[in-house]
Amino acid sequence: MSTATQTPNAAASGTFRLGGDLPVRRLGYGAMQITGPGVWGPPEDPDGAVRVLRRSVELGVNFIDTADSYGPYVSEELIAQALHPYPEDLVIATKAGFVRTGPSQWVPVGHPAYLRQEVELSLRRLKLERIDLLQLHRIDPKTPVEDSLGELKALQQEGKIRHIGLSEVSVDELAHARTLVDVVSVQNRYNLADRASEAVLDYSEREGLGFIPWFPVATGKLARPGGPLDAVASAHGATPAQLALAWLLRRSPVMLPIPGTKSVAHLEENVAAAGITLTDDEYKSLESAAG
């Protein structure tokens, strides 16, 4: 199906229920890029960031992923500015567990008191009484994961967190975490050109956990003129990035891509990928080309 003949709508990507009770459209929006360079400070065009956020909801997106460390704090503040009071079906996922010491610098901190402080502050910035999905941004090697997740479980029991997720974990780490808390999602780097987290995706699919691939549209050499992505994209009247997203959506029913952008036009292009249906041969050719 050509993306040029349809109105983009994230509903075409289908629905997944986080934790079995929280429905989200599978193609979401990642709000990291609406900050300044190095994911630091405010964006050059704050009004443009607000327009992108509002347009994402107009296009049927009801799953927005952010983090306290994006800015830091800037992304969460812009989401509240643009969208509060929130649509009833909007799910905002955020993260805690990274301290920012400067542009492009990220330091994991999983101390319970720090995580509690950041969750409380995220609630305030996002103007929420409960965070639908709070993800531990990284496991802190200096803090026992039992302590970090124990604090998130306490916050969950207090009604401040609905569901708990993890980010950048191995299968063993994920399996261990699930003995401590009820984990509903995993956010690892994964895309057509980089499938190092294949085992974690397979585990997530078997266990019914949402898999949120960050950096989802990386295509590398696959998008070169005359390359496999370019050829299939031409057949669909689409871009290589759209094909990369369509491939992810086809790859697994638990896949929840969250492409980010600071451009409304690019946002509309990304959402249009939800309407692309790959044939079996196209899907296999892209998978084998990237293998």
Q: Which residues are catalytic?
A: 70
Residue 100: φ, ψ to 5° = -100, 125
Nearest to 260 by CA among 46, 44, 65: 65
Nearest to 71 by CA among 89, 49, 56, 88: 49
In this structure, what token pair is assigned to residue 132? 């639908």
In this structure, what token pair is assigned to residue 286? 């892209």
Nearest to 69 by CA among 29, 43, 103: 103
Kindly report the number of other CB atoms within 10 A of residue 221's CB atom. 11
Q: Are strands 91-96 and 63-65 parallel, antiparallel or unpaired?
A: parallel
Round to whole Å and give the CA distance between 21 and 208.
12
CB environment 188-202: b (16+ within 10 A), e (fewer) = bebbbbebebeebbe
